Amino acid sequence: MIKSPPQKYSPINVEKKILKFWDENSIFQMSIDQRKGCKPYVFLEGPPTANGMPHPGHILTRVMKDLVLRYETMNGHYILRKAGWDTHGLPVEIEVEKQLGLEDKQGVEEYGIKKFNEECKKCVFKYEHAWVEMTKRIGFWLDMENPYVTLTNDYIESVWWSLKQAWAKKLLYKGYKVVPYCPRCGTALSAHEISQGYKNVKEPSIFVKFKLKNKDEYFLAWTTTPWTLISNVALAVHPDQLYVKIRYNDQILILAEERAPVLLKGQNYDLLDGFKGKELEKIEYEPLFDFVKVKKKAWYVVLADFVTMEDGTGIVHIAPAFGEDDYNVGMKYDLPVVQLVKLDGTFPPEVPLWKGQFVKDADPKIIEHLKKRKLIEGVHEYTHDYPFCWRCESPLIYYAMESWFIAMTNVQESLVRNNNNINWYPEHLQQGRFGDFIRDVKDWSLSRKRYWGTPLPIWTCTDENCKNQICIGSIKDLRELSENFPKDYDLHKPLVDELIIKCPKCKSKMKREEEVIDCWYDSGSAFFAQWHYPFENKQEFKQNFPVDFISEALDQTRGWFYSLLAISTFLFDERAYKNVLTLGLVLDENNQKMSKSKRNYVDPDIILDNEGADALRWYLISASAPWMSKRFYEQAVKETLGKFILTFWNSYNFFATYAALDNFNPKKDILPIQRRQFLDKWIISRFNKISSEFKRYMKTFEVHKAARVVEGFIIEDFSNWYLRRSRKRLWAEEKTQDKLAGYSTMYEVLLGLSKLVAPFIPFITEEIYQNLKTDDI
């Protein structure tokens, strides 16, 4: 029988009651077990790191995932919902360094790598309880008791297997390249990592004069990185562009013809000569600095197609140690690589003027020094995007160094083809932000000179005459090759570096390459490593690959979304996922990025305590398209509670209160539709119509439109129109046919609504459903 509900809706009370019901009756597990044998819908959870508290962005991703998975479950799909934890990498190391008061890598090594990694292992689960509680509280059904964890031996072994596949395909190689490098963290970063950390900055750009050898004439070049001038060895011009020699301010300057009128607009200068860029090749000039002697020829003009006329002077200063284009042209002309910056980003003793200073901090002093030498023609403030470390927020520098790479350029065509077979939401990302990135894909800078991560499984023979290298792809192989493999083991540093391995060729001792791998490779391996594939669960993996659905925020476009596709492409030449729902950023009330330092950060617990999970969920889902940014503030959720949630509750309350008084029994008292009023038939027709619209929107992940269709129906059609015009029908003392017709219609609509929007607002709909259902429903 229908019971009379509480007159006042209390989100906290309803949620506690429903959570208890779900827990005591194992409802989540039941929803999976009941659908065994049904068509699977494969979901892959993007693993967060639990060394920090969950924030509003995590709430959004969890709400959206749960919405989709509940909807697909209710449509008869069998869905496993395995949680995951991303446990390696710089985020963890930086947190532990702060806890231990360590300032750099030297401090870590003095503290001890083993002890440091033990602290990292503890740190990654510091806030696990808070994550679990948040996940439960917002109603996200996720198996958090059996998660995949990237630090386990099984997971690492699967990752090693994949790296051995790359090795066998000659995709894994060691190279000397210019890579984005974080001096603070002491490690290189990959192209998809730096895409996450750009900031708009204002910096000085300078026009520098380089004196031609034995002539009182100057090449005029432009740079936004004055610190790299210390290592200048050449100047580049475009071979096919026109260049001019002009007299300006009693000096003779050479620059691009196209740039002269732009830079000297409104100023007088005399044109003395003109020539193609190729005619300037090999002309020598005097070095700006002579801190070191070079063994190769330097300080002359080279030709390069990358020189543009869009800004600057059409002449680019070349420092092969600090730029990819510079390094490549340096290789072509056999230029020396003058590396006058230490790994910590400071100048070495060889640069006495700025010894020990961080390069970016030295820029103003370098500019002042060149001004005194009358080699600066102009200084302008320049606004541009500059890469910062995505974790410690230090400015990055481009640095020539040895690193291990995966040759993604070799599989670029396969990447593009596999991406074309993925359904992107929104669609424009496929050929836009993501497509652009993979069409210009770079080799993946895989290795990190750090401590807490999956060790690179490559060993090199120490015999200078041998230098044989092996890549180990399983624990079995490692055990067989090691003379001292322990019974209890942890596949992290320092254990892997303490194993005694003899070279299969010459029997000399082998030494592991010291690096760990990019933690994005760890998380990008989740689609197979969570199964411990190929060592176990081969059938399970095949049945769950590629996955049907993933969803994360927009910043993962060149992060996790890329690493998944990259790894699945070179391993299996297949897409890793079929559908990807990309979510917008979560901003504050004024559309500003949330930050505790700005004091515009909203604690989700406050909203959950006051307005409840359903109101929060409905607001996040209905406010805008999933891929659009969302403002996150309490007043908006409070308005959602008052406008929609309470309207829905009060509509249900009105019916249930009267139905309980009249002992309305759905098993016996439901009237057939033919015996009801036109008003009843109209509201049922409207419900059927919006149900069809709702399902159409859900197919394309336009969940905001689906929500708005339902919201409009409940507020306008059902509450404002139907219920207001049906009140008097329920006031009759006896169970008249008209009264039963009203009860029958209200019951069917409310029961239908409780099912329809259950994926959106699971708590209030469960409460309504449990009261309205009959034993045979």
Q: How far is residue 571's CA from residue 168's CA, in Å, rounded to a whole number?
A: 11
Which whole-number Å values give the CA distances from 452 to 487, 515, 516, 563, 613, in the listed order? 22, 10, 7, 19, 36
Phi and psi, residue 323, nearest 5°:
-165, 140
Q: How far is residue 47's CA from residue 381's CA, in Å, rounded to a whole number?
A: 41
Q: How far is residue 328's CA from residue 391's CA, in Å, rounded to a whole number?
A: 29
Cis peptide leading into residue 546 (ω within 30°): yes
DSSP state of 39: P
Phi and psi, residue 207, nearest 5°:
-105, 115
Give per-residue burial for 243-274: e unless 16+ CB within 10 Å, then b.
bbebebeeebbbbbbebbeebeeeeeeeeeee
Cα 765 versus chain centre, distance: 33
Cis peptide leading into residue 426 (ω within 30°): yes
Q: Are 551 and 581 in contact (CB under 8 A)?
A: yes
Catalytic residue numbers read 47, 86, 520, 556, 560, 593, 596
HEC readout, 648-679: HHHHHHHHHHHHHHCCCCHHHHCCCHHHCCHH
Q: Are 419 and 575 in contact (CB under 8 A)?
A: yes
The tokens of 449 are what? 């000179």
Full DSSP string of 334-377: T------S-TTSBB-TTSGGGBT-BHHHHHHHHHHHHHHTT-EE
Give the residue among 186, 179, 185, 83 at the shortest CA–CA distance from 136.
83
How many Cβ atoms from other residues are within 10 Å of residue 129's Cβ? Answer: 10
The tokens of 172 are what? 């894994």
Residue type (1 letter), 324:
E
- What residues contact 71, with CB distance under 8 A and at least 6 apart? 698, 759
The tokens of 71 are what? 């909807």
Write down the residue that tokens 């320092």 correspond to. 494
Q: How far is residue 659's CA from residue 665's CA, in Å, rounded to a whole number?
A: 8
- What residues contact 155, with CB distance under 8 A and at least 6 apart? 148, 149, 522, 525, 529, 530, 532
Helix (H) or strand (E) holding 25: none
